[in-house]
Amino acid sequence: MPDTISSNDPSDGAYNYAYLDEQTKRMIRRAILKAVAVPGYQVPFGGREMPLPYGWGTGGIQVTAAIIGRDDTLKVIDQGADDTTNAVSIRRFFARVADVATTTRTEEATVIQTRHRVPETPLKDGQILVFQVPIPEPLRMLEPRETETRTLHALSEYGVMQVSLYESIARHGRIAKTYNYPVLVNGRYIMSPSPIPKFDNPKLDRNPALQLYGAGREKRIYAVPPHTPVKSLDFDDHPFEIERWTECCALCGSTQSFLDEMIVDDAGKRRFICSDTDYCQERQEEQRR
Amino acid sequence: MSDIALGLADPAHDSQKLFRAVLDAFAHPGRIVALTQGPAGVGPLSRAATAFLLTLVDRDTPLWLSPDFDVPAVRDFVRFHTGAPLVAREADALFALLTPRRAPLIDSFAIGTDPYPDRSATLVIEVPALTGGPALTLKGPGIESEARACVAGLPASFAEEWAANRTLFPCGVDLVFTAGSELMALPRSIAVEI
Amino acid sequence: MYVAVKGGETAIAHSLELLADRRRGSRDLAELTLDQIDQQLALAVDRVMTEGSCYDRSLAALAIKQARGDLIEAIFLLRAYRTTLPRFGHSEPIDTSRMVAERRISSTFKDVPGGQVLGPTFDYTHRLLDFSLAANGERPAAPTAPVDATRDLPRVGDILEREGMLEPPPANVGGPTQDITRDPLTLPAERPVRLQNLARGDEGFLLALGYSTQRGYGNNHPFVGEIRFGAVPVSFVPEELGFPIEIAEIDVTECDMVNQFAGSHDVPPQFTRGYGLAFGHAERKAMAMALVDRALRAEELSEAVTSPAQDEEFVLAHSDNVEASGFVQHLKLPHYVDFQSELVIVRTLRAEVEARRQQTALDQAAE
């Protein structure tokens, strides 16, 4: 019962539909169109202070607030789950300020805001996946200066990234990067897929849904249009590969999904279950039928 | 002031629906979307072009009007409902309204820079119809294999001009074609073949 | 309408209730009023208004109360409110020479026109806990000299400037500039953009950076040309009138820092400026800001950029405490998907190292 939660909630009438004022929405909408027109390029936008802290999804929230309407059905996940506290908090925010229906079902959602995962259930034409992005610049940890990285993108000068991946091979015998694994979008821009596990990278490639990425603190929006090639960087002799588990999900038996590891007793016994709670529940219900 | 045509009846919700239609068009180049939430077209403008302006243009976006549209009804409407500064030079505009009669069609607008390709113009081109013209094949982001566009009224040189725009990528202009209450988008990333 | 509800929802609801309860504290004690916070914690209100970029004492007091005295949290609350407010336009630049100064000191001249006015300051308090405040803080009203609000108070810098000893202020004052609360920061930044960023910047961060310049990390040989605190009028030109009208009076603290500049072959030596401005009474903030402003002018003044305080991108990208606080604290959010990915790869790499080690041992045994 989200509406009875707190007495200090601002009275909803004091704020515009979907929280943002119309001028701010127009500014974000223009940035989104530019992002779609130049896939993988980070469009600077006048990010606003949101009533949630920076680092907790303010970029994704601004993108969602700029696109969402009363006809939408919103799903919010964090770590693949609908019931993690931050997902609950963001979903509650939109249910209140945007008068929007919410769902946990991937296939029912028209807009899905996510942190750190891409749903296991394949997305469809017409769905929009909104990613929360902490550090939009894929080269940031290799070159902290914005003035430098902007030039590198302008020149398509991505040697520094290749060198970094090659160093990983030299050290570990393989590319040891596991999440936020860099991708090349439509053969032009290297892009951060946000901190999703590399397990999810193949889902970004030629996905029929529209992918929008919002970084609030860093004030950047970028996009991958439907059906756009998204290639995870690799080398011919060290092709890209995803995580594999020898276990299967303890609840639904899936061997195809990303698994969370839980420690179930003091002796350190492990149990693995699907990170995508909707996918897991759908499979369990199907098995019961 | 009383002569100025009405804007959006329900600005927050109408503009949201209109934007989603425009976004759908940008995400699926060649797809024809209907912009039905806006008012009737203003002066010589189509309903779709009017709705597009009301959705995306405001005091932060300089607008250029081609001579066909630089008429009091449009100027007053734009000033009153959007506050957009009307600029005389194409290069100063972030949005522009034009007809296919302009030649060359998409020349001399802002194309952005390699570090900031987003500092570029979006051109709204009013055409007689979005169907019935010679078939163009579209390929690129947003399109599964290829899409077909049959925009009527484009000059013969269009494919050539567009190819030149494509070579500027990531710089370049983005186009939307409007006719009646319909809109089609052609972002700079899309290759066009005859 | 169907709203998805799960366990986390109840937990959050309970957490919010507990927070509100802890904020209130013991019900045996009277609740703080906003007026009390405004009047008796006035400098906290000043800081929240400055870094919250919103001059409204009662809103800042409310934010402090709601944040249980956590000033960065209060700044965040005020900013999140500010961002939803409609914008009617821009005020005219304030003119601090029209200030009715409650305090005004210069450390570059023994006496200056208008005089040195000590005003209320901690500077000469002995830092001894005043236990009488624990019992009863009532004090008789302090005597004050009559103020002449009609007379302008010339700035010390202006006097030096007339002589050519101090660089003039930038020429484009009052022209249009970027608004950092509406436009994304682009680098390199113009000085007006830097000053906006510093004015909103975290006091502790600027203090540490300013301090570092005094310890050799980008020394700029500062003198306090002048610090003044007091009320200045704010004017606005309504479109329908076309001329400025006074709409408010605000308290500000201004610091004009005077710094050495070596000059060059063509340019005679001249003093340069670092500028600080804060809402309310905030000398530490205004001074630190002025030091960092001057340090950030290194490139413009052809000085070598060698230290953090001179590094525009480093300073501007990390000065905002609402951004910093959010991103540091977001580490509390679950990251178990990424951690799982790391577990998988570390286990794989460890197994590979172990396999190689065993193979080496086998090979050696075979030799």
What's the confidence (pLDDT) of residue A15? 75
Please tell me whether residues A173 and A272 are part of one structural domain.
no
Window 126-185 of B, Cβ < 8 Å to A: 140-144, 169-170, 174
- H or E element, residue B122: strand B122-126
Q: What is the CA radius of gyration of chain A?
A: 20
How close, in Å, is residue A227 to chain C by CA atoms?
26
- Does residue B144 contact residue B194 with C-beta atoms inside 8 Å? no
pLDDT in tens, C79-105: 999 988 877 788 999 999 999 899 999
- Parallel/antiparallel/unpaired status of strands B174-179 and B122-126: parallel
Kindly state whether residue B4 falls inside one of the protein's structural domains.
Answer: no
**Domains in chain A, number:** 2
Packing angle between helix B11-27 and helix A22-37, nearest 10 degrees? Answer: 0
pLDDT tens per residue, range A101-141? 999 999 999 999 999 999 999 999 999 999 999 999 999 99
What CATH number is attached to the domain comprising A132?
3.40.50.11310
Asked whether the predicted pLDDT for residue C74 surpasses 50, the reply is yes
What's the confidence (pLDDT) of residue B1? 46
* Least reliable range by pLDDT among A158-162, C142-146, C305-309: C142-146
The confidence score (pLDDT) of residue C172 equals 61
Let me know if residue A184 belongs to a domain. Answer: yes
Residue B24 main-chain phi, psi, to 5 deg: -60, -40
Q: Chain B: give the shortest CA distance to residue A200, in Å.
A: 20
pTM: 0.91
Is residue B6, in this structure, part of any structural domain at all? Answer: no
Start-to-end Cα distance in chain C:
76
Per-residue pLDDT reduced to its tens digit, B157-187:
999 999 999 999 999 999 999 999 999 999 9
Which amino acid, residue A68? I
Measured CA angle at C84 (ends B13, C191), to 5 deg: 125
3-state secondary structure of A77: strand
DSSP string, C323-346: HHHHHHHGGGS--HHHHHHHHHHH
Same-domain status, A258 and A214? no
Regarding whether A286 and A226 lie in a shared domain, the answer is no
Residues A226-248 have pLDDT tens digits of 999 999 999 999 999 998 889 99
Alpha-carbon gap, residue B29 to B6, rounded angstroms: 30
Contact between C336 and A7 using a beta-carbon 8 Å cutoff? no
- As for how many domains chain B has, the answer is 1
pLDDT at A5: 32
Question: What DSSP string runs through B57-96?
Answer: --TTS-EEE-TTT-SHHHHHHHHHHT-PPB-SSGGG-SEE
In a domain, A155, yes or no: no
Q: What is the pLDDT of residues B115-149, one digit of tens each?
A: 999 999 999 999 999 999 999 999 999 999 999 99
Q: Confidence band (pLDDT; 50, 70, 90) for C269?
A: confident
Domain check: are A60 and A14 in the same one? yes
Q: Is B118 on the interface with A (CB under 8 A)?
A: yes
The pLDDT of residue C173: 58
How many angstroms separate the CA atoms of C279 and A219, rounded? Answer: 26
B187 is written with which tokens?
Answer: 């972002």
Query: For chain A, what percent of residues have pLDDT higher than 90?
Result: 83
Distance from CA of C212 to the nearest CA of A (A): 22
Quote the CA–CA distance of A19 and A47 in Å, as a whole number. 14
Q: Is residue A162 part of a domain?
A: no
Does any domain span residue B130? yes
From A232, A254, A277, the end of a domain falls on: A232
Say how far apart CA B188 and CA B124 lie, in whole Å. 14
Reference A229, options A185, A182, A193, A180; nearest CA is: A185
Structure tokens at C271: 């003093």
Tell me if B104 sits within 8 A of B131, measured CB to CB. no
Query: Taking all residues of chain C, what is their mean pLDDT, rounded to a whole number?
Result: 90
DSSP class of residue A106 equals: G
Q: How many Cβ contacts (< 8 angstroms) between chains A and B?
A: 112
Mean pLDDT of B152-157: 95
**Under an 8 A CB cutoff, do B169 and A34 touch?**
no
Q: Which residues, at least 6 apart from A30, have a Cβ–Cβ distance to it below 8 Å? A: B56, B61
The domain in which residue A272 lies consists of 244-289
Q: Are A254 and A130 part of one and the same domain?
A: no
pLDDT band at C167 (very low <50, low <70, confident <90, very high): confident
The answer to whether residue A146 sits within a structural domain is: no
Residues A106 and A173 in one domain: yes
CB C39 within 8 A of CB C31: no
Helices (H) and strands (E) in chain A, counts: 7, 12
Q: What is the rounded CA–CA span in Å between residue C105 and residue A169?
A: 63
* A174 lies in the same domain as A261: no
Kindly state whether residue A281 falls inside one of the protein's structural domains.
Answer: yes
Among the ranges given (A218-227, A262-271, B166-175, C190-199), the one the predictor scored with the smallest mean pLDDT: A262-271
Judge: B15–A26 Cβ closer than 8 Å, yes or no.
Answer: yes
pLDDT for the residue A252: 96
Dihedral sign, Cα of residue A141, residue A147, residue A148, residue A149: positive
The complex scores an ipTM of 0.97
| pLDDT over 80 at C2, yes or no | no
**Pair A30, A82 in one domain:** yes
Domain CATH code at residue B167: 3.40.50.11310
Does A43 lie in the same domain as A119? yes
Residues with Cβ within 8 Å of C110's Cβ and at least 6 positions away in sequence, in order, are none
Task: With CB atoms and an 8 Å threshold, state whether A6 touches C20.
Answer: yes
With beta carbons under 8 A apart, name residues in chain C contacting A54.
322-323, 325-327, 330
Question: Containing domain of residue B176, as a range?
Answer: 11-186
Of the pLDDT bands very low, low, confident and very high (cuts 50, 70, 90), residue C111 is: confident
Question: What is the structure's pLDDT at A10?
Answer: 43
User: A90 and A14, same structural domain?
Assistant: yes
C156, C225 Cβ separation under 8 angstroms: yes
Quick one: pLDDT band at residue C367, thresholds 50, 70, 90? confident
Question: Does residue B110 lie in a domain region?
Answer: yes
A281 and A220 belong to one structural domain: no
